[in-house]
């Protein structure tokens, strides 16, 4: 019994250390480690992936108008919605504040856009008690094309964040693919001269 209790306590401590308490998603450090592994796998196998930055639109308004408890509830429900909308092979995490990040594994442009729209629809379906306003999310998508593409996770986050900024500028409640686009490089020279 003592060994079972110690193992259970260890499991709970590990869960607390790797999970964001509010959203139930992996925390930033855990997400970044998993994203690094997926990126290395994509480069070895030549498969594509997408890194997505999602931001709850006008989140400050939820806190200011309805109180911080309502804002926390928005984040908690959005986290559950995201977890339920991504595939088991994908990685979701809370990046900070009202930002949620995703790594979508083995996806090309169209599949990435469809997955992001599925996640955004799940967030839009969130209903917060005593809050009449809809919850929406903006997203920015950065594509990584596998074997002949070179980037680290920080560079992908930056590119996705820039695409997210364009979504916000265009009026929010939308997803924007980075301007680099969906073309897949076919040689190291194409990567170098992009």
d(CA 176, CA 87) in angstroms, rounded, equals: 21
- Helix or strand (DSSP H, E) at 58: none
d(CA 54, CA 59) in angstroms, rounded, equals: 12
User: Torsions phi, psi of 22, nearest 5?
Assistant: -75, -50
Residues 6 or more apart whose Cβ sits within 8 Å of residue 164: 53, 54, 55, 138, 139, 140, 176
Q: 98 an active-site residue?
A: yes
- Catalytic one of 15, 33, 43, 98: 98
List, by residue number, the catalytic residues.
98
């Amino acid at each position: 019994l003592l060994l079972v209790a110690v193992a259970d306590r260890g499991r709970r401590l590990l869960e607390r250390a790797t999970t964001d308490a509010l959203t139930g998603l992996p925390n930033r450090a855990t997400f970044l480690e998993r994203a690094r592994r997926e990126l290395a796998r994509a480069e070895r196998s030549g498969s594509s992936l997408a890194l997505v930055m999602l931001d709850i639109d006008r989140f400050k308004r939820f806190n200011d108008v309805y109180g911080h408890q309502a804002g926390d509830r928005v984040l908690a429900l959005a986290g559950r919605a995201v977890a339920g909308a991504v595939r088991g092979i994908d990685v979701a995490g809370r990046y900070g504040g009202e930002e949620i990040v995703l790594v979508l594994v083995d996806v090309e442009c169209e599949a990435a856009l469809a997955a992001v729209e599925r996640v955004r629809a799940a967030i839009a379906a969130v209903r917060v008690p005593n809050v009449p306003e809809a919850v929406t999310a903006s997203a920015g998508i950065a594509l990584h094309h596998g074997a002949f593409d070179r980037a680290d996770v920080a560079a992908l986050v930056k590119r996705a964040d820039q695409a997210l900024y364009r979504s916000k500028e265009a009026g929010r409640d939308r997803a924007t693919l980075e301007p680099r686009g969906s073309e897949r490089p076919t040689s190291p020279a194409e990567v170098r001269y992009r």
